[in-house]
């Protein structure tokens, strides 16, 4: 039997377009266990997929119009002239952007009737945008053709978010949405796109991974996220390396006078965060009896680095972490881009 979200999106499609969709596609949101702001620095990340998903019901049109409907956001009618770098604004960019990238690659995407229904909370740091983009991309590939390799599809979805939606994100969110396996973390090298599925079952140890919503929405396209990325790229250029992944925390400390206080802090977070990701992977792969307990302090150290060096937390996030630790959590940290969520 179809689950409730799939039933809802099909019913909404029938109501909007008076017929049946050609199919239904979905992709999950993600939570990042550790590895924040490392992906656009060619670093390491460790996300897992959520149960909550974005659902897309779609069918092709003979013309070149895009008739879009969202169960939460309303409707939009576009032509291909309306889609490109920085346009359209808002939610429709995440649906149409991946199709534009496919067309850029020579795939003959024509028109589409599409209904979107998403269970992934928006603005909560759980990658709702990547879930929408990846579900939309999977629909277009099945209907019109294109790449099928999941690593390559993640790059398509990332380019759509970068160019069409205007968010300078790395490839972690799209990779998690497309490549995570149930019961596992995705240990991803964002430079090579090589990945390892790391078993992760807190319940087997009597533990739980809690994802807490601070009810503080974030907005990554407002310039603060882009400013962090710019600082990292400037630091890499000053150090003469392709990306901050290629230097160590000790090298950052030695170059403090060259980098200046702000770039030094940003670079210190990235390099120490990469080390923390690799340490968590090492602990989990070792499968020691206390491996889950051992990663707790590493997660907390990640939050402190995001608070003090990368400066992307907000008081609500810091309070949530402090409260969790005071209540007995083994470790706690913000997840996502920060500035809320």
Specify whether the CB–CB gap between 308 and 273 falls below 8 A. no
Half-sphere exposure of 15 (CA within 13 A, CB side): 13
From the candidates 82, 173, 222, 257, give the one annotated as an active-site residue.
173
Find all residues with CB under 8 Å of 116, minimum gap 6, and list them.
9, 54, 55, 56, 68, 69, 70, 71, 73, 91, 95, 132, 135, 136
Q: Clarify whether 173 is annotated catalytic.
A: yes
Closest C-alpha among 97, 100, 99, 92 to residue 116? 92
Specify whether the CB–CB gap between 18 and 252 falls below 8 A. no
Task: Encode 35-63: b = buried (16+ Cβ within 10 Å), e = exposed.
Answer: bbbbbbbbbbbbbbbbebbbbbbbbeeee
Catalytic residue numbers read: 173
């Amino acid at each position: 039997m179809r689950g409730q979200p799939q039933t809802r999106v099909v019913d909404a499609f029938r109501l909007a377009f008076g017929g049946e969709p050609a199919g239904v596609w979905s992709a999950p949101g993600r939570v990042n266990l550790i590895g924040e702001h490392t992906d656009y620095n060619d670093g390491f990340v460790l996300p897992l997929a959520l149960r909550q998903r974005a659902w897309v019901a779609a069918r092709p049109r003979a013309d070149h119009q895009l008739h879009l409907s969202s169960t939460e956001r309303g409707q939009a009618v576009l032509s291909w002239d309306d889609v490109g770098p920085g346009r359209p604004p808002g939610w429709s960019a995440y649906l149409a952007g991946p199709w534009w990238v496919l067309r850029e690659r020579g795939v003959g995407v024509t028109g589409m009737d599409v209904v979107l229904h998403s269970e992934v909370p928006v603005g909560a740091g759980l990658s709702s945008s990547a879930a929408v983009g990846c579900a939309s991309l999977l629909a277009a590939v099945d209907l019109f053709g294109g790449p099928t390799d999941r690593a390559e599809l993640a790059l398509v979805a990332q380019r759509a978010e970068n160019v069409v939606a205007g968010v300078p994100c790395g490839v972690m969110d799209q990779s998690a949405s497309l490549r995570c396996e149930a019961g596992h973390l995705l240990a991803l090298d964002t430079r090579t796109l090589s990945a390892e599925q790391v078993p992760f079952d807190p319940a087997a140890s009597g533990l739980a991974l809690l994802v807490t919503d601070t009810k503080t929405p974030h907005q990554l396209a407002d310039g603060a996220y882009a400013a962090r990325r710019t600082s990292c790229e400037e630091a890499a250029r000053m150090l003469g390396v392709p990306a901050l992944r290629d230097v160590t925390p000790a090298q950052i400390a030695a170059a403090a006078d060259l980098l200046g206080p702000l770039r030094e802090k940003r670079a210190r977070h990235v390099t120490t965060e990469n080390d923390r990701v690799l340490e968590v992977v090492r602990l989990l792969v070792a499968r020691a009896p206390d491996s889950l307990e051992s990663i707790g302090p590493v997660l907390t150290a990640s939050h402190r680095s995001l608070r003090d060096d990368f400066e992307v937390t907000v008081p609500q996030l810091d309070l949530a972490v402090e409260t969790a630790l005071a209540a007995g959590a083994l470790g706690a940290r913000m997840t996502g881009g920060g500035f809320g969520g």
